[in-house]
Amino acid sequence: EIESRHRLRGGWGGGGDREWGRGLPYDSALSQEALETLAEEAGFSGSEGRSLAFTRAASVLKALPGRLSTLEELGPLPGIGEHSRRVIQDVLEDGVCAEVERVKLSERYQTMKLFTKIFGVGVRTASRWYQEGLRTLVDLQERGTKLTRQQQAGLRHYDDLNTPVERGEAESISRAVQGAVQRCLPGTSVTLAGGFRRGKPHGHDVDLLLTHPEAGREAGLLSRVVSWLDSQDLILYQHSQENSYALQEGPEPPGGRDVMDRFERCFSIFRLEVQGGPGAARGWKAVRVDLVVAPISQFPFALLGWTGSRHFERELRRFASHERKMVLNSHALYDSRRNLFLPAVSEEEIFQHLGLEYVPPAQRNT
Ligand code: GTP
Ligand code: MN
Ligand code: MN
């Protein structure tokens, strides 16, 4: 058996080992999880490139139809590197990968995970705290760690914000925002984007996109909406950003990774009345909500950008730039060969410009 393992390690995709793995039906979910853990760990160490490679490999597995039962099925698949293959092989053979188990048990990984789950805490801050010897949420409070207002809110609502948001809750928040915009600017539309638009049953937050059919009317809308929601005691925390996008400036340089868009937006925590689940005793639950305002002419781009998944967006933008010499972001699509912006009134039209078949939201969960 050892010998055949050895052979396999050396001979990926050879096709000479067809027998191997027969009778071992295997769900690729375990390998995906293992690869995602390594992606996360690489991110914690600041190795973005390595993190991306593991994420890609995990998403290739996710896209495989059915179950993975033999190693050579992976043979011709691009996007799965040497290291990822080794992990998949370990999981196939033993059900676990020692490297991944080691990571999961390490104090650094566990602490980084704990800290980065605080709203407003990124890898850099978490890493600094770890280095300073902080290990628990109580440590943060007791040692008088300096926290931003956002991090304080994140810590205060830590458990709620790390409890998945149900679709029904997202819809209820969406309705509350609908109500608010109808008071502030009738005719404004509110669209549920993010994972919920992709059909996911739950998510980590609620992403809502606002626009008005008459160009320009949306300016200044967000602060009025937020004030009204606040006056109704629906908001526990918020910070807003103004729109800083000007089309005349030209497109963002291609290849910039995960460039934040420049829409007027609000990062907030809502106070949602609940009957059941965690928080039922209090009667409410804290929920993260992103509100984004897009002018109507940019709406299809904003919708495409905010529907995700993050990985799908990254791949789509990469395709646009590498295969089409176009720059795609949440504001516009720019054709660098012809030196012009390609307008669109729907997501379908954006895919057409890119020469791609339309991918409905439910198929963007890669
Ligand atoms: P869950 O919220 O975990 O359920 O998943 P999600 O897919 O909804 O993730 P998230 O809310 O983080 O983001 C939704 C989409 O909006 C993703 O495709 C992100 O790329 C995009 N997004 C989130 N924040 C920003 C941002 O600041 N700028 C831009 N341009 N896009 C963003
Ligand atoms: Mn989301
Ligand atoms: Mn979001």
Domains of the chain: 2-104 (1.10.150.110), 106-156 (1.10.150.20), 165-297 (3.30.460.10), 305-363 (3.30.210.10)
Percent of the chain with pLDDT over 90: 75
Confidence of residue 110 (pLDDT cuts 50, 70, 90): very high
- The catalytic residue positions are 205, 207, 290
Q: Which helix (H) or strand (E) holds 192?
A: strand 189-192
Ligand 1 within 6 A of 361 CB? Answer: no
Q: Is the pLDDT of residue 154 over 60?
A: yes
Ligand 1 within 6 A of 207 CB? Answer: yes
Spatial neighbors of 151 by CB under 8 A, at least 6 apart, are 118, 119, 120, 121, 125
Query: Residues 291, 225: contact at Cβ < 8 Å?
Result: yes
Mean pLDDT value of segment 198-213: 97
More confident residue, 253 or 309: 309
- The winner for highest mean pLDDT among 250-264, 271-285, 327-341 is 327-341
CA-nearest residue, atom 20 of ligand 1: 310
Identify the pLDDT of residue 8.
Answer: 32
Q: Which helix (H) or strand (E) holds 341?
A: strand 340-341
Residue 23 CB neighbours (<10 A) = 6
Confidence of residue 16 (pLDDT cuts 50, 70, 90): very low
CA-nearest residue, atom 10 of ligand 1: 194
Helices 82-94, 98-105: inter-axial angle, 10-degree rounding = 90
76 C-alpha to center of ligand 3: Å? 35
Mean pLDDT score across all residues of the chain = 88
CA-based end-to-end distance of the chain: 35
Identify the pLDDT of residue 9.
Answer: 31
Spatial neighbors of 329 by CB under 8 A, at least 6 apart, are 251, 252, 259, 261, 301, 305, 317
Mean pLDDT value of segment 156-175: 97
ipTM of the predicted structure?
Answer: 0.95
Ligand 1 within 6 A of 252 CB? Answer: no
Ligand 1 within 6 A of 295 CB? Answer: no
Alpha-carbon distance of 330 to 298, in angstroms, equals 8
Alpha-carbon distance of 298 to 315, in angstroms, equals 20
Q: Is the pLDDT of residue 168 over 80?
A: yes
